Amino acid sequence: MRKSACVALGLGGAVIAALAAGSAMAGQELGQPLPQRAPEKVYASVCGYCHGTNVGPIILGRKLAPALIKTMVRSGMNGMPSFRPSEISDAELNDLAVWIEKSKANPKEKGK
């Protein structure tokens, strides 16, 4: 009985040590923000899902004011979802809003 308890404890310790080593080896610090994404990447992977595909209005090439874009992204409206800073950081949103304002219309996009 005492022996098997010792073996069980030993195994548990080995598993904990392996887990600790595994997370250290992954090289990713928990609680650290992800690197900032370029505005065209955010647009393509998040906004372009709806805008330019007939779901949301066309927003490229319309010189939309950055303040309007930022309000829409943080607050949402009807079919437009809101996004938290953990999804799109403030720095990413600032760059994205300016990038959209200055963007040219993309003739491949569909919508009105």
Buried b vs exposed e over 32-46: b needs ≥16 C-beta within 10 Å?
Answer: eeeeebebeebbeeb
| Sign (positive or negative) of CA dihedral 59, 61, 62, 66 | positive
Q: Residue 48 Cβ, how far from ligand HEC at the closest point, in Å? A: 8
Query: Which residue among 19, 68, 98, 105 contacts ligand HEC (CB under 6 A)?
Result: 68
Closest among 95, 92, 103, 111 to 63, alpha carbons compared: 103
Interacting stretch for ligand HEC, rule CB under 6 A, among 6-14, 19-27, 72-80, 102-110?
A: 72-80
- Classify burial at 99, counting beta carbons within 10 Å of its beta carbon; exposed 0-12, middle 13-18, buried 19 or more: middle
Q: Does 30 bind ligand HEC (CB under 6 A)?
A: no
Of the residues 37, 47, 52, 60, which one makes contact with ligand HEC according to CB under 6 A: 47
Among 64, 66, 106, 111, binds ligand HEC (CB under 6 A): 64
**Could you say whether residue 69 binds ligand HEC (CB under 6 A)?**
yes
Kindly give the interhelix angle for 66-75 and 90-102, rounded to the nearest 10 degrees. 130
In the complex, the residues that contact ligand HEC under the rule CB under 6 A are 46-47, 49-51, 55-57, 59, 64, 68-69, 72-73, 77-81, 83, 88, 96, 100
